[in-house]
Amino acid sequence: MTTSFIRTVPVVLALALASIGVSAVAQTAAPATATAPAPAEPTTTEKVKEAGKDAVDATKSTTKKAVNATERGTKKAWDATKRTTKKATNATKNVAVKTGDAVETAGHKTADGMRSTGKAIGEKVPGTAEHEAAKK
């Protein structure tokens, strides 16, 4: 249920009750007195028009409040999305830098290990510079 629906239900009920009451009053005969004229009551049409105006005013007010609330909520959501996107971007950049550093370090260690392994093999193979240097 929307808030506008909840707010219009009392207005509709008031209109329904007013129309029932107006129908009952219209069916009863007013006492005729010759000395004092009866006070002029608004007609059924006037009462319904007034109730309609009240309902329209309530609907306008509720609509304005709903529009304002929606605009505020939209702005808050947009701001939150911008903040979250910035945080995610920064986190991704940081992880990319750390990953690059880790790959670079691993590559250097692997290359150093291969060089030392090649040197050790070269020391054992006759005729290589490493073998001649190891003899001395």
Contact 70, 62 (CB under 8 A): no
Give CA separation, 124 vs 111, 112, 115, in Å: 20, 19, 15
- Percent of the chain past pLDDT 70, that is, above it, reads 82
What's the pLDDT band for 37 if we cut at 50, 70, 90?
low
pTM over 0.75: no
| 126, 115 Cβ separation under 8 angstroms | no
Q: What is the pLDDT of residue 11?
A: 75
* Torsion sign across C-alpha atoms 71, 74, 76, 78: negative
- 104's tokens: 């670079």
Residue 61 host element (H or E) = helix 44-124
Q: Is the pLDDT of residue 25 over 60?
A: no
DSSP assignment letter at 33: -
Percent of the chain with pLDDT over 90: 49
Tens digit of pLDDT for each residue in 41-95? Answer: 888 888 898 999 999 999 999 999 999 999 999 999 999 999 999 999 999 999 9
